[in-house]
Amino acid sequence: GNSVTQMEGPVTLSEEAFLTINCTYTATGYPSLFWYVQYPGEGLQLLLKATKADDKGSNKGFEATYRKETTSFHLEKGSVQVSDSAVYFCALSASSGYSTLTFGKGTMLLVSP
């Protein structure tokens, strides 16, 4: 079946540090890949997505590249801010015609001033 594995947290960084959160997946066919973010006290929000191999999704300074050869979709940001502190979820959607998502366990990011 489909599955998503992401690095365990918490990830603790100082402001302006470089961020990488690793995500790998297992799926049949050609899934679409997503990063969702959950800020404290808020619901899940789509951060970025990529729907085919070698696509790069980007938003708010975050980016991730769909790597089919390594089945990965690592999230990166060049310079994190305190406001980026949140839980980040990697997810995939199988090519089934609708958007049911399989999520990873989430990675908490804590950014200190």
Which is closer to other proteins, CB of 97 or CB of 113? 97
Q: List all residues 6 or more positions away from 42 whose beta carbon is below 8 Å from its beta carbon.
A: none
Q: Does residue 14 interact with other proteins by CB under 8 A?
A: no
* 67-96 residues near other proteins, rule: CB under 8 A: 89, 91, 93
Residue 92 and residue 33 in contact, taking contact as beta carbons nearer than 8 Å: yes
Strands (E), 22-85: 23-26, 32-38, 45-50, 56-59, 62-65, 75-77
**Tokens at 18, concatenated:** 């470089």
Identify the residue among 51, 58, 72, 85 touching other proteins (CB under 8 A).
51
Q: Does residue 32 interact with other proteins by CB under 8 A?
A: yes
Q: Which residues bind other proteins (CB under 8 A)?
A: 4, 32, 36, 41-46, 49, 51, 89, 91, 93, 97-106
